[in-house]
Amino acid sequence: MPDFLLTAAVFILFTVAIGLVRILYGPCDADRAMAAQLFGSGGIATLLLVASATRAPGVEDVAMGLALLAAFASVAFVSSIATAGPEGADGE
Amino acid sequence: MSFALNLLSVTAISAGLIFFLAGTLGLLRFPDTLSRLHALTKADNVGLGLVVIGLLPLADNMLAGLKLVVVWVLVQLSGATVGQLIAQSIRRFGQTG
């Protein structure tokens, strides 16, 4: 069973890493934020699978922290758009 | 019993993997930002939910299983909120930002 769980974790990490291409190509900032959010939830799933496979203590807590940070990152993105407008938010 | 639980785990986790793959493909291939957001939230909610369901029978004790469910509920709440917020910002400021 641990082998299957680790394989699943690597598979999720692989697909999410491919999804990060969207950060490179955009075209708009919302797409980039969405790719980062997909990386957040994929990272949580990976951490949970690794925690169950290796029985290492505390990895689920890291997943919980990542869930919190991913939520904050996207809310910060939306609030930066709302205050600065689309021109000021792209950082150029 | 153990075999049935293992079968449930493997089935649910495999289905979750399919949803993550579909979310990534949708994020890469769908034509506009709102439909990409639609694909992404499926991967977030259903994919992670299925992985958590698959991991529940493997949890050591009640507390560990509860922690898995709490992580999923947290992601579910934040995913729903963030999906609405991003869609609202796209509607308000267009897709050029």
**Pick from A74, A83, A26: nearest CA to B86:** A74
Q: Supply the pLDDT for residue B1.
A: 66
How many contacts (CB atoms, under 8 Å) link A and B?
A: 141
pLDDT at position A14 = 92
Minimum CA–CA partner of B33 in chain A = A31
Please judge whether B43 and A38 are an interchain contact, meaning their C-beta atoms are less than 8 angstroms apart.
yes
- Residue contact B6–A28, C-beta within 8 A: no
Q: What is the pLDDT of residue A86?
A: 54
- Cβ separation of A22 and B28 shorter than 8 Å? yes
What string of H, E and C letters represents the secondary structure of A30-86? HHHHHHHHHHHHHHHHHHHHHHHHHCCCCHHHHHHHHHHHHHHHHHHHHHHHHHHHH
Domain ranges of chain B: 2-93
Residues in chain A with CB shorter than 8 Å from the CB of B68 are: 48, 60
**Inter-chain contact A48–B71, Cβ cutoff 8 Å?**
yes
Count Cα neighbours of A55 within 13 Å in the Cβ-side half-sphere. Answer: 6
Closest CA to B12 of B56, B47, B50, B38: B50
Per residue of chain B (97 residues), give pLDDT as tens. 688 888 888 999 999 999 999 888 888 888 888 888 888 887 778 889 999 999 998 888 888 889 889 888 888 888 888 888 888 888 887 765 5
This complex has an ipTM of 0.86
Which stretches of chain A drop beneath a pLDDT of 70?
84-92
Measured over all CA atoms, what is the biggest interatomic distance in chain A, rounded to whole angstroms? 50
Q: What is the pTM of this model?
A: 0.86
In this prediction, residue B53 carries a pLDDT of 92
